[in-house]
Structures are given as C-alpha cells and as structure tokens.
Amino acid sequence: MSLRIAEIFGPTIQGEGALIGEPTVFIRAGGCDYRCVWCDSLHAVDNSYRHDWAKMSTDAVWNRVRALSGGQPLTVSLSGGNPAIQDFTAVIARGKSEGYRFACETQGSIARPWFAELDTLVLSPKPPSSGETVDWPAFAACLDAARPDAASQGPKVVMKIVVFDDADYAWAKAAAARFPALPLYLQPGNPDVDPAHPVDLQACADRLLWLVEKVTDDQWFTPRVLPQLHVLIWGNKRGV
C-alpha cells in the first residue's frame, strides 16, 4: 500500500493549536474532501496538484522522518489536506515503536480507527467563511474513533477553530457549546495566503487583538486565543 504525500518537512515548530511551539516533523498528506475558500495548503488539497504528490511506502515515509529528525524521537504531525482520507496505521505503529509521538489535524469529516493510536488529535471544524458545511454526526464519529471503548484512554483530543469575522465567531461559540468537554483553541485567520505576497504583520496583530477583545468583552473564558505563529515567522512560505 502506498500513501499520497504532498511533502515531508522539518524539524520545525508547530505553529498553532494545542502543540504550538513544539518541535515537529510534518507529514503533509495529499488530498482533501473540503475546498475551503481561504485554504493555505492548496498544494496538498486540490487534484490539480496530484501529479506533484509522491506515492510512498510506509518504509519510505518513515525513513524520511527519521533522517529529518536525526533519529531523535519527537512529535510527528499528520496534516494535509485531510490526512484522514488515508490509512496511516502502519506509519504510526512504526514511529511509536521508536519512541516518536503522533499528532493529527483534521476537520473531523472522516473517522479512522488509527485516531485511537495518536497522542494528540486536533479536530478543526471549518466555520462559515470557509464555504463548507460541517457534518456534526461525522465529527462526533471522529471522537468515538479516538476513544473506541470506555477503558481506552486514547489521545488528547482538542478542537481548534479559525475565526475570520463576526459570523465565524458566533459559529465558534455554538460549536463549542456542542462539545463543551473539548479544550478549545481559537486563532484569527490569514485572509491572504498567496505565497507570492508578503504577510502584513500589523494586520495579523490587529486581527489577533480583535479576537482577544471579542472573547474578553463577552467574558468567554473557555478558549485559548493564539496567533498563527508560523505565519508570523515565515509568512506563506511552504514547507516550514
């Protein structure tokens, strides 16, 4: 069995969510069942890029991760696209046998048994500005897959939502109310994801301030509000 891989890169730091700042090697899977209008990784999403995706065996994927990390166990992040389209069971088992930790970020549209083998599962449902509609029963199925039985501790599961405007913010509050037990991370979105354009750092700071003021004015103290750290450091550059 081969995996469709858009890129493998690192070590670098995780730029967002529950593991922000953590040294990480990224396995970016090719293919996605969503087409978010503000997607920042179309090279791993759209089928027009499929000829650039490598077909790699578990051995080839793992040899690349080990080479990048110098054989030192760290966190490996499965991202995309939507990594849940593919079967990463063997990659996870191979890495965990060598002491590596695994995180996965997915929108929660496809449940996979291998979610239960992760250390961290980040479910990132997409708000209205994405142009997509969340299938909440499918999202709940992802939670069930991460904890298949009462005796299973399973991975740490969190919810991360990107917020672009007032409608997204209201939607995020409603989404959080559906799953109050999930730790929640909010971050302002980056509206200009063109790699050819420099990132406006002041605009990033303004969007972050806007989101901070929204939650504090509402006295909504449940979520953690974070920047997209990778955007602040590297802009829209791929593979970092």
Task: Look at 225 and 233; give whichever has higher pLDDT.
Answer: 225
Q: How far apart are CA 27 and CA 10, in angstroms?
A: 9
Q: Percent of the chain having pLDDT more than 90?
A: 77
Query: What is the pLDDT of the chain when averaged over all its residues?
Result: 92
Cβ-proximal residues to 114 (8 Å cutoff; 6+ apart), any chain: 87, 88, 89, 92
Beta pairing, strands 75-79 & 184-188: unpaired
Please provide residue 102's backbone torsions phi and psi, each rounded to the nearest 5 degrees: -130, 135
pLDDT at 11: 96
pLDDT at 151 over 80: no
Q: Domain 3-234 adopts which CATH fold?
A: TIM Barrel (3.20.20)
Q: Where in the chain are the domains?
A: 3-234
- The pLDDT, as a whole number, for residue 240 is 53
* pTM tops 0.75, yes or no: yes
Q: What is the pLDDT of residues 156-184, one digit of tens each?
A: 999 999 999 999 999 999 999 999 999 99
Residue with tokens 């920047």: 227
Is residue 57 scored above 90 in pLDDT? yes
Summarize pLDDT for 77-111 with one digit per residue, the tens: 999 999 999 999 999 999 999 999 999 999 999 99
At residue 190, the pLDDT reads 83
Dihedral sign, Cα of residue 64, residue 67, residue 73, residue 79: negative
Q: Contact at 8 Å (CB) between 161 and 125?
A: yes
Within a 10 A sphere around the Cβ of 209, how many other Cβ atoms? 12
First to last CA, the chain: 27
Stretch 51-62: mean pLDDT: 95
